[in-house]
Structure 1
Amino acid sequence: MIILKSAREIAIMREAGRIAARVHEALREAIRPGVETRELDALADRLIREAGGVPTFKGYHDYPASICTSVNEVVVHGIPSSRRLREGDIVAIDLGVTYQGYVGDCAYTWPVGEVSDEARRLLQVTQEALQLAIEQCRPGRHLGDIGHAVQSHVEAAGFSVVREYVGHGIGASMHEDPQVPNYGQPGTGVVLRPGMVLAIEPMVNAGTWEVRVLPDRWTVVTADGRYSAHFEHTVAITEGDPLILTLP
């Protein structure tokens, strides 16, 4: 069941999204060679709580941290640890903030120092795909339009979209209906309506779209070991233009 949000609920989600975006800005400044991913987690946890929010991820289905730190070939759900970032790495930071009972969810992938040309292009194409998807978030369009916007841009660049993990509706719960795939055909799927709020999150691999899950049952990696990038915004469908809720 798709839950439409009121103007009041969207306003609360906007504040949750602002907190998430400001935490991302602080994390971006903290990312450098030598930093441990668990240090980034501790920073995010502190900043979220100081802003009056709660880290949505912590304890969600027993997830042990406040953010996901997915390095290089890790697609999503990387668990912060003593791993130190190195020059040339890329690290996707995914985080959720619960504020007054509603969630804002967003992800960015950052370069660590100087990265390869392919890595930089992967980040650029994934971020462009997210923006193209957001442009489709208008009343009367379809979920298939969102997925097609991502897939066509990514594949034209020679990369691939992950199939097993998708975006989602969001509100009082982090995961609500509908699912929002990063692939699809235009004009198919659920019709978008004002009041729908979606977490749109292209996950793009440099090589194959296939992935596998590590024994910790959380960490998802590319099947071929090549890099993956992840960008995400929480977006409200309005009577007019899309409203991105996870901006500073």
Structure 2
Amino acid sequence: MIELKSPTEIDRMHTTGRFVADVLTELGDLADVGVNLLDLEHHARDKISQRGAKSCYWDYAPSFGEGPFRNVICLSVNDAVLHGLPHDYALRDGDVLSMDFAVDIDGWVADSARSVIVGTPATEDLRLVRATETALESAIAAAQPGNRLGDISATIATVAAENGYPVNTEFGGHGLGRTMHEAPNVANDGRAGRGLVLRPGLTIALEPWFARTTDRIITDPDGWTLRAADGSRTAHSEHTVSITEDGPRVLTRRPERPNSL
């Protein structure tokens, strides 16, 4: 069942979204050569504790993971793209780091992800990250009242095709609000003009992610981390968005910085 949120409830989700955005901004600033993934995990834990928030990941045990997940953020490096289990790894020059973060504040959830390049970026990695960001912005632009869910999915797939990236449809966006995963599912490929009509009050997480040369994924022995099956580099971008009478409202928007990732 899809639960439409009131303007007041969306404002509360926006409060959570601002916190999520601020933490992801801080983590992006901290991610540098030699920094351990566990340091980033502990920074996120500290911020959650200070805010009195609740991690949506801690003790999460869905069918697609070997639960329970005992971390507060997903950190995925290079060919890893989703559900990365933080572990003892020092970031290296040129690594692509994807960070996915979701919390609950006063009963309302927000979810966002970003990919950053540590140190010196390779041109192809920069292009890959930018493609997910472009796809996300295109998806947001398509999230207009009266449009359909397929319009969002189709625009993500179009950006992928324009950049020569295949699209995996096993994992994509989703509804959220009182919990992290609610109906509907939002695939990263689909047909325009098809699917659910977008109505004001709908809140969804849009999350295009691409691997450079494959649409297949494999799961690490840790039971969580998903990697490109051919070992190619990956990237992931995500925002929580509400549909309003006036168009899409991004609830996890980070402050813009010139030439930043």
Q: Same fold (TM over 0.5)?
A: yes
CA distance in 2, matches of 1:107, 1:49: 20
Partner secondary structure for residue 196 of structure 2 = coil
Task: Write the letter of the residue equivalent to 1:215.
Answer: P
Residue aligned with 1:66, SS: coil
Question: What amino acid does structure 1 have at the position aligned with 2:28?
Answer: R
Q: Name the counterpart of 1:191.
A: 197
CA distance in 2, matches of 1:30, 1:168: 29
| Residues 210-225 of structure 1 mapped to structure 2, 5 A cutoff | 210-225=216-231
Residues 85 and 222 of structure 2 are in contact (CA less than 8 Å); yes or no, is this contact kept in structure 1? no
Alignment coverage as a number of residue pairs: 248
* Pair 1:41 & 2:41 matched: yes
Contact 2:83/2:226 (8 A) holds in 1: yes
* C-alpha contact (below 8 Å) 1:19/1:48 kept by paired residues: no
Q: Indicate if the aligned counterparts of 1:57 and 1:67 stay in contact, CA closer than 8 A.
A: yes
1:30-179 matched pairs, under 5 angstroms: 30-61=30-61, 62-179=68-185
Q: Residue 148 of structure 1 aligns to which amino acid in structure 2?
A: A
Which runs of 4 or more aligned residues in structure 1 lie more than 4 Å from their structure 2 counterparts after TM superposition?
none
Are positions 1:2 and 2:16 aligned together?
no
TM-score (normalised: structure 1):
0.98
Q: Deviations over 1:183-223 (max 9, x none)?
A: 00100011100000000000111011111112222110001
The farther-off stretch of 207-216 and 142-151 is 207-216
**Which residue identity is paired with 1:226?**
S
TM-score (norm: length of structure 2) = 0.93
Q: Answer whether contact 2:153 2:191 (CA < 8 A) is retained.
A: yes
3-state SS of paired residue (2:155): helix
Residue 45 of structure 1, CA deviation:
1.1
| From 195, 201, 210, the counterpart of 1:204 | 210
Structure 1 Cα separation of the partners of residues 26 and 166 of structure 2: 30
* RMSD, aligned CA: 0.9
Task: Tell whether the 8 Å contact from 1:20 to 1:48 is kept in structure 2 after alignment.
Answer: no
Q: Secondary structure at the match of 2:90?
A: coil
Q: What is the identity percentage for the equivalent residue pairs of Structure 1 and Structure 2?
A: 40
Could you report, residue by residue, the CA deviation over 1:20-74 in whole angstroms, capped at 9, with x for unpaired residues?
0000111011000111101101001111221231221111111110000000000
Structure 1 residues not aligned, in runs of 5+: none
CA contact (8 A) 2:80 2:234 kept: yes
Q: CA deviation at 1:158?
A: 0.8
Contact 1:23-1:47 within 8 A present in 2 as well: yes
Structure 1 position 239 matched with structure 2 position 242: no
Q: Deviations over 1:103-139 (max 9, x none)?
A: 0100000000012110000001110000000001111
Question: Partner of 1:18 in structure 2?
Answer: 18
Matching residue of 2:64: none
Secondary structure of the 1:162 match is coil
Conservation of the 8 A alpha-carbon contact between 2:74 and 2:85:
yes
Structure-2 separation of matches of 1:159 and 1:107: 19
